[in-house]
Chains A and B, each alone.
Chain A
């Protein structure tokens, strides 16, 4: 309830400001933007561009989570390897996203592989760092128990290790999604010919503020929907035993 009121207050503030400025080309009101979203959705290419961006978000997310999970687990469980890889992790954590994107486009070319790889490279270190912390906090007694009862490797990973990592996986997935879609927009802005980022670039060149807001807000809505409909329920499901 508080969230809804807070959101309503933000919209009211936006509407008031737009009313005071009275120039829709500088700041259109929320109803104006809502109308544009509907028109782009039903008569324009909104879904096409949103689909292209979502596919890139999904691909980069899968890549970043897979590599980050494996690397984080290895680094969290193996101290000597962690000592070797930690400096690399620090370097990549501090590498600006823009640098990675530009270098990927220069080295690989202006194509999908470069775009997705650039986003994933930006996210992998963050997932790795979060999963490593989770792996370091593993319950050593459970390791002993699994060894004593000779649990098969896959069963041990699935039922002993991954559930302990679940809060860290969920946290990195949620922060990852938030970060990835923003970087995807930059990648599209700089070097793709479709996607929400490409549309933002187009309307930026045309100084079209209403359309910039239309595309950015519609994608924010989609990402909020993913957060509420997929990520939060999954996190709740994964941690249901804590509330039992």
Chain B
């Protein structure tokens, strides 16, 4: 069970987040919707543990994975190395994970030799290969064309269906939220809270 109890988050004198409280159960996929600049990414950083300068408490499992807005890969390492070096998984496990996201035969390619869609698949494989208890996705389909977004959502859905992972993903697309999520939370106001 993931429990989020944020009471305040400020940058200097500017309070960005107000009281926010929710929880996510294993197997549940929660979408966090809100306009740009409202504080979605700030909240995500708090929940993931990347930002601990806030008032409140977050309970999260140790096994955590994250899909970032950009693929965030080691461009100087092969696709295979991006899984083995970062997550510590063995080569066979990494190759299986790559096959699962449709990247068979690409293990020795450098990320810059892959298309943006393929890089996003690789980032997805990196997240799922760790077999996480909690998956966080920060606008994982940003800057993809509509056709690729459809493919990626389908792929993500199928990967989630095979596992019982608590998932939180940030998006500003109602369609993405309604397709993937079992529950939708909306962030709004200033300082931001759940509306």
Contacts and interface: CB of A to CB of B under 8 A. Distances in A.
B86 interface: yes
Given A155-B85, A244-B113, A148 B74 contact: no
Contacts of B126: 149
A151 B86 contact: yes
B50 A149 contact: no
Size category of the binding interface on chain B: 20 to 34
A159 to B, nearest CB: 5
Interface string B156-184: 00000000000000000000000000000
Given A155-B85, A241-B110, A144 B68 contact: yes
B48 interface: yes
A3 interface: no
A148 B74 CA distance: 14
B72 A141 contact: yes
B112 interface: yes
B77 A148 contact: no
Contacts of B50: 144, 147-148
12 contacts: A144-B66, A144-B68, A144-B72, A146-B86, A147-B50, A148-B64, A148-B65, A148-B66, A149-B65, A159-B77, A241-B112, A242-B112
Given A145-B86, A149-B126, A244-B110, 5 more contacts: A147-B49, A155-B85, A163-B74, A163-B76, A244-B112
Contacts of B87: 149
A159 B74 contact: yes
A160 interface: yes
Interface string B41-78: 00001001110000000000000111010101011110
A142 interface: yes
B3 interface: no
A160 B73 CA distance: 10
B68 A145 contact: yes
Contacts of A147: 49-50
Nearest to A159: B85
A169 to B, nearest CB: 13
Contacts of B68: 141, 144-145
Interface in B85-122: 85-87, 109-110, 112-113
Interface of A: 139, 141-142, 144-149, 151, 155, 159-160, 163, 166, 241-242, 244
Contacts of A145: 66, 68, 72, 86
B74 A160 contact: yes
Contacts of B72: 139, 141-142, 144-145
B90 to A, nearest CB: 15
Contacts of B75: 241
Nearest to B130: A149
Contacts of A163: 74, 76-77
Contacts of B49: 147-148
Contacts of A244: 109-110, 112-113
A211 B188 CA distance: 80
A190 B74 CA distance: 48
Contacts of A148: 48-50, 64-66
B77 to A, nearest CB: 7
A139 B70 CA distance: 12
Question: Taking each of B85, B109, B112, B126, which has the highest tally of chain A beta carbons within 10 Å of its own beta carbon?
Answer: B85
A212 to B, nearest CB: 45
B129 to A, nearest CB: 10
Contacts of A166: 76
Nearest to A146: B86
Contacts of A242: 112
Nearest to B68: A141
